[in-house]
């Protein structure tokens, strides 16, 4: 059960005096930023809704960190390009509340757009870290994306004032961008720690994504090309061989490749060999659907 702007424990004021009963608190639905006041120091899981088991894992991770867990649901218009899927992005609030509740959230923050971007007070875009500008990956394919992500994430951090924020490795460049933004802006979000969480996959390897809902049954088989490409890349002895093998696998699945690269795991800049931690990263199109995936190249030699 979800209660707007209230905690069920308050409902028990005036009950019989005796040992404190243990209540299983229902989850709060918060829409007004001022109602976040009492949730300061939480573990925040920022999302755009359309929650799936990958999000559920992030929420469980947040719950394991201690303190209250806040899940934000906000489809942020500023991180979508003009030809992207902002209008059709799945909005599934009732199902999202249920996923958040059963995964251990104490509150869902689902603000109106005017609460995030008030008409009378422009929300600044923080200076973008290098990893948002130089790798020529998501930054090149979606030129305004990280400005929007940093703008909304900074705003959420200011409003929620979390102790932890949990981000999935599925959006690997985003994870690095947010981590660098927090470090660059110190001491703006004092004590905040970004907590990464591994990508959650279906048993056949498909990385969970809210955008998988766009895939028709036959496209789902093609989408497996991404995780298969990452798997075959592990056999390569050199980054350029891994990149060619990934491209071949993606093309064999009739996917239009945007990038299929091996990069330094921290800077996302090109590497000449496997003498340091590296990451394989892919973006590919399947008709109108854009898919991304990545994996650590665990065998570095």
- Total residues contacting ligand PAF (rule CB under 6 A)? 10
Burial class (CB in 10 A: 0-12, 13-18, 19+), 164: buried
Min CB(198)–ligand PAF separation in Å: 15
55 is catalytic: yes
User: Is 105 a binder of ligand PAF (CB under 6 A)?
Assistant: no
Minimum distance between the CB of residue 217 and ligand PAF, rounded to whole angstroms? Answer: 25
Q: Which CB atom, from 171 or from 264, has the smaller least distance to ligand PAF? A: 171
| Partner residues linked to 27 by β-bridges | 2
Judged by CB under 6 A, the residue of 149, 150, 159, 250 near ligand PAF is 149
* Residue 48 makes contact with ligand PAF by CB under 6 A: yes
- Asked if 152 contacts 76 with a C-beta cutoff of 8 angstroms, the reply is yes
76 binds ligand PAF (CB under 6 A): yes
Distance CA 10, CA 26 (A): 11
List 55, 145, 197, 234, catalytic entry: 55
Q: Which of 171, 240, 251, 264 binds ligand PAF (CB under 6 A)?
A: 171
Asked whether position 47 contacts ligand PAF by CB under 6 A, the answer is yes
Region from 103-111, 115-123, 149-157, 220-228 binding ligand PAF, contact rule CB under 6 A: 149-157
Q: In the complex, what is the shortest distance from the CB of residue 76 to ligand PAF, in angstroms, rounded to a whole number? A: 4
151 belongs to the binding site for ligand PAF (CB under 6 A): no
Q: Considering only CA atoms, which of 152, 172, 188 is closest in space to residue 44? A: 152
Nearer to ligand PAF, 99 or 242 (CB): 99
| Contact call for residues 246 and 280 (beta carbons, < 8 A) | yes
Q: Interface with ligand PAF includes 111 (CB under 6 A)?
A: no
Q: In a 10 Å sphere around its CB, with 0-12 CB exposed, 13-18 middle and 19+ buried, how is residue 91 labelled?
A: exposed
- Stretch of residues binding ligand PAF (CB under 6 A), selected from 35-43, 45-53, 95-103, 120-128: 45-53
Residue 76 vs 249, nearer CB to ligand PAF: 76
Assess 46 for contact with ligand PAF (CB under 6 A). yes
Residues that bind ligand PAF in the complex, under the rule CB under 6 A? 46-48, 76, 79, 149, 152-153, 171, 174
The catalytic residues are: 55
């Amino acid at each position: 059960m979800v209660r707007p702007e209230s905690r069920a424990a308050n409902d028990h004021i005036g009950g019989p005096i005796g040992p404190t009963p243990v209540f299983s608190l229902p989850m709060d639905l918060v829409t007004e930023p001022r109602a976040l006041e009492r949730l300061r120091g939480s573990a925040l899981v920022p999302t755009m809704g359309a929650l799936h088991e990958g999000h559920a894992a992030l929420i469980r991770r947040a719950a394991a960190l201690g303190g209250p867990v806040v899940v934000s649901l906000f489809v942020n218009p500023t991180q979508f390009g003009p030809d992207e899927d902002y209008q059709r992005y799945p909005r599934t609030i009732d199902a999202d509340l249920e996923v958040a509740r059963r995964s251990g959230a104490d509150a869902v923050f689902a603000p109106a757009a005017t609460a995030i971007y008030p008409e009378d007070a422009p929300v600044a875009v923080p200076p973008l870290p290098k990893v948002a500008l130089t790798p020529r990956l998501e930054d090149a394919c979606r030129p305004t994306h990280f400005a929007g992500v940093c703008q909304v994430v900074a705003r959420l951090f200011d409003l929620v004032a979390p102790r932890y924020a949990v981000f999935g490795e599925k959006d690997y460049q985003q994870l690095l961008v947010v981590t660098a933004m927090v470090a660059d802006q110190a001491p703006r979000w004092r004590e905040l720690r970004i907590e990464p969480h591994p990508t959650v996959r279906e048993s056949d390897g498909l990385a969970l994504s809210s955008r998988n809902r766009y895939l028709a049954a036959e496209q789902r088989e093609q989408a497996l090309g991404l995780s298969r490409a990452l798997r075959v890349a592990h056999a390569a002895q050199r980054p350029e061989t891994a990149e060619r093998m990934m491209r071949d696998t993606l093309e064999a699945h009739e996917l239009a490749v945007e990038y299929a690269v091996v990069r330094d795991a921290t800077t996302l800049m090109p590497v000449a060999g496997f003498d340091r931690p590296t990451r394989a990263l892919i973006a590919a199109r399947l008709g109108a659907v854009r898919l991304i995936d990545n994996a650590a190249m665990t065998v570095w030699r």
